[in-house]
A = this chain, B = another copy of it.
Amino acid sequence: MKKGIGHYSIGDPFDNFILIKSASRGVASNGKPFLTLILRDATGEIEAKLWDITKEDEDVFIPEQIVKLSGEVNQFRGKPQLKIFTIRPSQTTDGVQVSDFVEKAPVNKDVLMGKLTEAIFEMHNPSLQRIVRALIKKYQEALLTYPAATKNHHEYVSGLAHHVVSMLALAKELHALYPETNKDLLYAGIILHDLGKVKELSGVVTTSYTLEGKLIGHIPIMVEEIGNTAKELQIDSEEVLILQHLILSHHGKAEWGSPKAPLIREAELLHLIDLIDARMNTLNRALGKVKPGEFTERLFALDNRAFYKPLFEGNS
């Protein structure tokens, strides 16, 4: 059985299919062109150099191309590098596809969609429910496949829906503990809060920011979408304004991209639930890579802290 590239050690031979994430051309000190490839599968990435390339190589070894590669994992300036012995593009008969090489949410799309549907079904407020339903319908495919971010947390296929579903579970419990909160509003805010990312980000495999993402950002994008949807559905009640406020304020303060700080109880709670779920996702994945008694790498999204994994165990 084949293990993923994320689990290879220095010196290990490699003979497997792998996906090209990016390819950039350079000229070596001998004057000959070469390619720097970033290769990835669902477990991680590695760099490789393809020396003395031809014009055809440049056309073949491009991003999102799967290749069959044999070589060896070496080390270059402290980082692993895959030394290439042979390389060829995959063929249809190889039976491999791009989706085999990307990380995915631990829950599949059907389950995620089921959970979303269930939450919408629980809602009683018709205005909120209709807006949410309309927007989910409009962006369903993207919602179910997009990552929640390019890095930091839920940065994998279906990460966006996974994040939303996880937050809904949290919201359900928090509503039980603080019954004064308006569950419908909280659900609507959670489901839509990051949906603007389907326009802010470029796609699923090699995710980057779109022009709209760079110039406007997912928060104002979604505020506008909610306004449009409400207009189309001829909903003109206070719910629209409040829901737009929840989206607008969910980053918590101006410095973090919310021109208005939360001024509604459920907006404050949405912000905190978002924080918890994003941080727990980051922490669980980082701690999953280290042994008890070790520290994780520094985590950018957690103020560059490295976290310690205790030696002892507690609950069974």
Interface, chain A (partner B; CB < 8 A): 10-11, 26-27, 29, 31, 72, 74-76, 78, 83, 123-125, 127-128, 166, 169-170, 173-178, 180-185, 211-212, 214-217, 219-220, 223-224, 227-228, 231, 237-239, 241-242, 244-245, 248, 253-265, 268-269, 272, 275-276, 279-280, 283-284, 287-288, 295, 302-303, 305-308, 310-316
Asked if residues A310 and B223 are in contact (CB atoms below 8 Å), the reply is: no
Asked if residues B284 and A178 are in contact (CB atoms below 8 Å), the reply is: yes
Q: How far is the CB of A197 from chain B (nearest CB, A)?
A: 14
Cα A12 to Cα B306 with chains together (Å): 41
Q: Given A268-B283, A283-B268, A220–B241 Cβ distance below 8 Å?
A: no
Q: How far is the CB of A289 from chain B (nearest CB, A)?
A: 13
Asked if residues B259 and A217 are in contact (CB atoms below 8 Å), the reply is: yes
What is the copy number of this chain in the assembly?
6
Q: Given A242-B310, A259-B257, A248–B175 Cβ distance below 8 Å?
A: no
Asked if residues A241 and B228 are in contact (CB atoms below 8 Å), the reply is: no
Could you show 26 A-B contacts with beta carbons less than 8 Å apart? Answer: A26-B75, A26-B78, A31-B72, A123-B314, A125-B312, A125-B315, A173-B177, A174-B276, A181-B280, A214-B308, A215-B244, A215-B245, A215-B248, A215-B260, A215-B263, A220-B224, A220-B259, A223-B224, A224-B224, A227-B228, A254-B255, A257-B259, A258-B259, A264-B308, A265-B284, A268-B283
